């Protein structure tokens, strides 16, 4: 059964766009398939308030969202993916807020 969830696109520094998504079912699946520590870090950021976001957790959060969108089979490795994240913090925060369904204050 395909789990439906909202997809948000993220543009990487090489101009490719990758899908990101997150939901409970996919997080549970990732925890059971070797991504337990990544999910733990992402959950900390999910629970953060919009004005209390730890920027250094964002790469892990986006990585988990990327793996969720690929149903646990990412095309890029974690290091490749994080290496392609843009260093535009305003853009990354906007994407984080969209995925996490939080509004800017």
In-domain check, residue 38: yes
- Whether the CA torsion 33, 2, 92, 40 is positive or negative: it is negative
Express each pLDDT in 40-63 by its tens digit.
888 887 777 666 767 888 898 999
| CA torsion, ordered 74, 76, 97, 13, to nearest 10 deg | -160
In-domain check, residue 93: yes
Q: Which residues pair with 20 in a beta bridge?
A: 8
Count the helices and strands in the chain (H runs, E runs): 5, 2
Domain that holds residue 38: 22-99
Q: Are 50 and 44 in contact (CB under 8 A)?
A: no
In-domain check, residue 104: no
DSSP 55-101: GGGHHHHHHHHHHHHTTT--SS-HHHHHHTS---HHHHHHHHHHHTT
In-domain check, residue 54: yes
Express each pLDDT in 74-88 by its tens digit.
899 999 999 999 999
What is the tally of structural domains in the chain?
Answer: 1
Q: Which residues pair with 9 in a beta bridge?
A: 19
Q: Does pTM top 0.85 for this prediction?
A: no
């Amino acid at each position: 059964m395909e789990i439906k969830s909202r997809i948000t696109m993220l543009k990487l520094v090489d101009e490719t766009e990758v899908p990101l998504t997150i939901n409970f079912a996919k997080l549970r699946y990732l925890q059971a398939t070797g991504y337990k520590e990544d999910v733990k870090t992402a959950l900390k950021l999910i629970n953060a308030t919009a004005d209390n976001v730890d920027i250094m957790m964002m790469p892990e959060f986006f990585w988990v969202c990327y793996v969720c969108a690929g149903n646990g089979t990412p095309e890029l490795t974690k290091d490749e993916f994080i290496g392609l994240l843009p260093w535009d913090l305003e853009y990354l925060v906007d994407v984080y807020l969209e995925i996490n369904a939080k509004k800017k204050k």
